[in-house]
Amino acid sequence: MGLITWILLGVIVLVAIGLGLGVFFTGLFRGAEIIGENPAVQNASDEAKDFIEDKVGNELVIVTTERSDYQRGDVILITVKNNGDGKETFPDAALGLQVQNVDSGRSYNVLAAQVITELDPGESKTITWQDDSAPAGEYVASVHTSDGDSAQVSFEIRE
C-alpha cells in the first residue's frame, strides 16, 4: 500500500480510538442513512431495481439445460418454460428451438417426437438433443416465439 493509504488508515484508527468505537460506528451508520435518503441515490436504486425486473424477472420464456458442460455424444436435455401470464406459441414442433455452434456458426437440427407448438403459463417442456457429429466447442440453444419473444442458454461440449 502507498503512503497515503497508510496515513488515511492511521487517521481512521486514531479517530475511532479518540471518539470511541460506538460513536465512530454510529457516525458511519448515520452517514450511510443520510446518503441512502438522498433523492439521487434513491432514484438510481429504483432505476437499477426496475432494470433488473425488466431484464430478469419478466422474461416470458426461459431456456435451461441441466448443466453447462457436456462430453461429445452426451444427450442434452433442453427445457423451455413459459414464465409469462399468457399462452406462448412457437413456429414449429420443436418449440422454435435452434442449437448453434458459437465458433463455426453452424446450426444443428432439433427433432421433436411430439408436436408442441404452444406452452400455457407456467408450463415447461423438455426437448432432447444429441448430435454425435457436433464438434467440441461452445453452443447456444435459443427459442423464438411466434410473437417475437426469445431466450437462450449457453453450454459447452468437450471431447
**CATH no. for residue 94?**
2.60.40.1930
Question: Residue ranges of the alpha helices (H) in the chain?
Answer: 3-19, 21-37, 39-52
Domain shared by 43 and 80, yes or no: no
Q: Which domain holds residue 21?
A: 3-57
Domain shared by 8 and 29, yes or no: yes
**Total number of domains constituting the chain:** 2
Strand order through the sheet with 137-144? 69-71, 150-158, 137-144, 98-101, 107-108
Domain shared by 52 and 65, yes or no: no
- Report the DSSP pairing between strands 118-119 and 88-89: antiparallel
Q: What pLDDT does residue 57 have?
A: 47
The model carries a pTM of 0.59
Mean pLDDT across the chain, nearest whole number? 81
Domain shared by 72 and 14, yes or no: no
Question: 29 and 115 in contact (C-beta within 8 Å)?
Answer: no
Question: 70 and 113 in contact (C-beta within 8 Å)?
Answer: no
Per-residue pLDDT, averaged over 40-57, amounts to: 64
Domain shared by 75 and 130, yes or no: yes
Q: What pLDDT does residue 119 have?
A: 87
